[in-house]
């Protein structure tokens, strides 16, 4: 296994402290402003449209294992989609190729329906493990879209080559499609075949943006401070190499040379 080097250790400690500090500051009621993310704004719009049409929605939490950060972020989005769907009395069908995701997604959706005071609408058959491999899952999900005449499709999480196999059949059904992934190779495919795409870290910010909970907002602000530090270090490194050469003390402290 890999072990943290000294600069990585310092970076983890610094970023974690910043994020936790901002979380606890936000919990004390000092939450900040976060900018608008169009793709995430449209989630409620898509749920509303599906409700008006009286059709179900499909949520696909990616092809990553449950411990994958992208999958965890996607499950956060699923919580919001399920809550809204429960409030509006709309069905949300979750399809996955990862068996461990089934009980977790089931619990999230069930809780959302119970919170909305409509537990009778929850149907465990709507949390579907369809196939063990990505391409078979894509076919089966396309079949669900066709058969159930779904009106909104959400694709959040980690994706591989199946991204296009999932979204192109969805595009043909005329449903509104919103996708978000941290796999930048798949981003162009989502942009081409979905109505809205959430890119990279916006996926990790999604549950914070959607729930507007102080904890989540604080975490986002902490992330932004951490990114400012990363940017400052990059600038410092670039300037020091430009003016002092590649073996200067700053570069050696940062661990960029061995």
Site for another protein in 188-207 (CB under 8 A): 188-189, 191-193, 199-201, 203-205, 207
- Helices and strands per DSSP (H, E), number in the chain: 10, 6
> Under rule CB under 8 A, which residues in 77-96 are in contact with another protein?
78-80, 83
Count of residues that bind another protein according to CB under 8 A: 78
Q: How far is the CB of 117 from another protein (least distance, A)?
A: 13
**Residue closer to another protein (CB basis): 52 or 234:** 234
Structure tokens at 23: 């979380």
**Residue closer to another protein (CB basis): 30 or 52:** 30
Handedness of CA 241, 244, 246, 248 (dihedral sign): negative
Q: Which residues of 111-120 are buried (b: 16+ CB within 10 A; e: fewer)?
A: bbbeebeeee
Pattern 119-138, binding to another protein, x per CB under 8 A?
Answer: -----xx-xxxx-xx-xx-x
Q: How far is the CB of 167 from another protein (least distance, A)?
A: 8
For residue 198, how far is the Cα from the chain centroid? Answer: 8
Report DSSP letters for 113-175, one per residue: HHHTT-GGG--GGGEEE--SSHHHHHHHHHHHHHHHT-SEEEEEE---THHHHHHHHHHHTT-
Q: Figure out which of the listed residues 28, 33, 184, 249 binds another protein, where binding follows CB under 8 A.
A: 184
Q: How far is the CB of 99 from another protein (least distance, A)?
A: 3
Q: Figure out which of the listed residues 146, 230, 232, 239 binds another protein, where binding follows CB under 8 A.
A: 230
Instruction: Report how far residue 174's alpha carbon sits from residue 215's, in angstroms, rounded to the nearest whole number.
Output: 37
Q: Are 205 and 180 in contact (CB under 8 A)?
A: no
**Residue closer to another protein (CB basis): 52 or 154:** 154
44 near another protein, judged by CB under 8 A: no
Q: Figure out which of the listed residues 182, 198, 209, 217 binds another protein, where binding follows CB under 8 A.
A: 182
Q: How far is the CB of 25 from another protein (least distance, A)?
A: 13
Query: Is residue 195 helix, strand or coil?
Result: coil
Q: How far is the CB of 235 from another protein (least distance, A)?
A: 13
**Residue closer to another protein (CB basis): 52 or 236:** 236
**Residue closer to another protein (CB basis): 8 or 52:** 8
Burial class (CB in 10 A: 0-12, 13-18, 19+), 180: buried
> Under rule CB under 8 A, which residues in 95-124 are in contact with another protein?
99-100, 102-104, 107-108, 111, 115, 124
Q: Are 113 and 86 in contact (CB under 8 A)?
A: yes
Axis crossing angle, helix 162-172 with helix 134-148, rounded to the nearest 10: 10
> Under rule CB under 8 A, which residues in 15-34 are in contact with another protein?
15-16, 19-20, 23, 27
């Amino acid at each position: 296994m890999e072990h943290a080097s000294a600069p990585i250790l310092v970076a983890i400690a610094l970023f974690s402290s910043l994020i936790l500090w901002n979380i606890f500051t936000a919990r004390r009621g000092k939450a900040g402003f976060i900018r608008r993310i169009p793709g995430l704004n449209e989630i409620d719009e898509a749920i509303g449209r599906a409700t008006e049409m009286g059709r179900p929605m499909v949520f696909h939490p990616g092809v990553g294992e449950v411990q994958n950060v992208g999958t965890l972020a996607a499950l956060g989005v699923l919580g919001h989609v399920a809550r809204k769907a429960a409030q509006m009395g709309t069905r949300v069908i979750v399809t996955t190729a990862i068996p461990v995701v089934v009980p977790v997604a089931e619990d999230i959706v069930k809780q959302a329906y119970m919170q909305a005071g409509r537990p009778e609408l929850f149907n465990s058959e709507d949390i579907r493990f369809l196939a063990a491999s990505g391409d078979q899952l894509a076919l089966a999900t396309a079949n669900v879209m066709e058969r159930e005449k779904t009106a909104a499709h959400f694709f959040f999480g980690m994706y591989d080559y199946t991204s296009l196999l999932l979204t192109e059949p969805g595009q043909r059904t005329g449903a509104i499609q919103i996708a978000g992934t941290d796999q930048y190779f798949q981003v162009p495919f989502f942009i081409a075949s979905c109505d809205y795409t959430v890119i990279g870290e916006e996926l990790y910010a999604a549950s914070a943006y959607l729930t507007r909970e102080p904890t989540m907002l604080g975490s986002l602000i902490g992330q932004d401070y951490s990114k400012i530090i990363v940017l400052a270090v990059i600038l410092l490194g670039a300037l020091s190499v430009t003016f002092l050469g590649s073996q200067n003390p700053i570069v050696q402290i940062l661990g960029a040379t061995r």
